[in-house]
Amino acid sequence: MAQQRVKTHLVVAASMGATVHGQGLNVAGFDKVSMVSVYTGTPTGAWTWEVSDDSTDGVNGTWAPWTPDKGTVTNPDGAGAGALMPVQFAPLAFQWIRPVFTRSAGTGVWDVWAFIKQNA
C-alpha cells in the first residue's frame, strides 16, 4: 500500500507581537494530520486552531474555532520561554485547518510546519 506524505510551512517567521492566523491547510482526503510549532522569544498567549469547510485558498472563507480532543495547547515550558510543540490530530472531517496564536503579552517569532499523510 503506497502512502502520500506532504510537508508544508504554514507559519513562516511570524512576529508574535500580535495575534497570528497561519495559512490554512487543505486536509480533504488525508488520513493523518500533525503540526509542529516552534517559537522563540517571550510570548504569552493561547495556541488554538480554526477550521473551515468553505475556504478556497486557506485564507478567505468562514473560519470557526476548533479544539482537538486533547484541548488547547499551552506552552510546555511556561510563559516566556521558547519551545517546540508537536500536536497530532485524529482524522479530521473538516476541509481546512489553520493554527492561530492569540497574543496576551511578550514577543517572539513563530513557525509552524504541518505534515499530512494518506494511505493509498
Q: Where are the domains of the chain?
A: 3-119
- What CATH number should be reported for the domain whose range is 3-119? 2.60.120.230
Mind spelling out the 3-state secondary structure of the chain?
CCEEEEEEEEEEEEECCCCEECCCEECCCCCEEEEEEEEEECCEEEEEEEEECCCCCCCCCCCEEECCCCCCECCCCCCCCCEEEEEEECCCCCCEEEEEEEEEECCEEEEEEEEEEEEC
For residue 57, the model assigns a pLDDT of 93
For residue 46, the model assigns a pLDDT of 84
**Average pLDDT across the chain, whole number:** 82
Which of 2-6, 37-41, 42-46, 91-95 is least confident? 2-6
Q: Is the pTM of this model over 0.85?
A: no
